[in-house]
């Protein structure tokens, strides 16, 4: 199982707006646009998936700190891993976000050591987590919506709907690509790869 969190902006503003107008029209209200502070807000979600299935998508209300992540691990990760891998032969991957390495989170994983294996992920390692591609799928699906979500509730709903509509073959191909990804990183001696 792979896991990660991602933040989705309500409005994608890069600060650049190009308007073609004549010189005498520069200050006319018709040719001016309003700006949004911080993109109008965002929704952060945490998700997990395996070769077999997409896991839950959990909305993170604030920032993902160690207490919030501990709650996700206890309420989601452990029960799902134990159900999916009752023989204790499952592997769980998380990146090195500070909240993942917090003492209370690590202690929780140590308490459940026999249920599944937590993959060690060295600091500054290449991000091989295939869930990043699933976040891209969700972001592309949301960009194609007409009309676009106009508030955070609509954005949250759109994220969950897009997540649930990812075809099984998409995440199966990502899992099948892992040996090629690892070989590419080894060949590049930890440097950049096409993945």
Residue 124 scores a pLDDT above 60: yes
Residue 10 placed within a domain = no
Q: Say what the pLDDT of residue 194 is.
A: 83
Average pLDDT for 125-140 = 88
The structural domain count of the chain equals: 1
Average pLDDT for 148-167 = 96
Residue 195 placed within a domain = no
Residue 55 lies in domain: 41-188
Residue 144 scores a pLDDT above 90: yes
Q: Which residues of 54-77 are buried (b: 16+ CB within 10 A; e: fewer)?
A: bbbbbebeeebebebbbebbeebb
Residue 1 placed within a domain = no
Residue 23 scores a pLDDT above 80: no
Residue 7 placed within a domain = no
CATH number, domain of 144, equals 3.30.420.10
- What is the residue-averaged pLDDT of the chain? 87
Residue 68 placed within a domain = yes
Residue 35 scores a pLDDT above 80: no
Residue 103 placed within a domain = yes
The pLDDT tens digits for 68-109 are 999 999 999 999 999 999 999 999 999 878 899 999 999 999
Confidence band, pLDDT 50/70/90 cuts, at residue 38: low
Contact between 154 and 25 under an 8 Å Cβ cutoff? The reply is no
Lowest mean pLDDT among 33-47, 77-91, 103-117, 151-165: 33-47
Environment class of 36 (CB within 10 Å of its CB; exposed 0-12, middle 13-18, buried 19+): exposed
Residue 189 scores a pLDDT above 80: yes
Residue 116 placed within a domain = yes
């Amino acid at each position: 199982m792979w896991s990660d969190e991602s933040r989705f902006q309500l409005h994608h503003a890069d600060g650049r707006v190009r308007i073609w107008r004549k010189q005498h029209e520069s200050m006319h209200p018709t040719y001016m646009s309003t700006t949004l502070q911080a993109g109008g807000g965002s929704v952060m979600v945490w998700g997990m998936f395996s070769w077999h299935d997409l896991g839950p998508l959990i909305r993170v209300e604030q920032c993902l700190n160690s207490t919030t992540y501990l709650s996700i691990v206890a309420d989601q990760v452990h029960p799902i891993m134990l159900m999916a891998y009752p023989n204790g032969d499952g592997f769980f991957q998380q990146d090195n976000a500070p909240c993942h390495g917090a003492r209370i989170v690590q202690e929780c994983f140590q308490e459940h050591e026999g249920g599944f294996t937590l993959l060690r992920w060295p600091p500054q390692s290449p991000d091989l987590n295939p869930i990043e591609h699933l976040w891209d799928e969700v972001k592309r699906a949301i960009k194609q919506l007409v009309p676009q979500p106009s508030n955070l509730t609509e954005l949250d709903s759109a994220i969950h709907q897009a997540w649930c509509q990812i075809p099984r073959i998409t995440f199966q191909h990502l899992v099948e690509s892992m040996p090629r990804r690892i070989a590419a990183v080894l060949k590049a001696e930890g440097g950049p790869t096409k993945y």
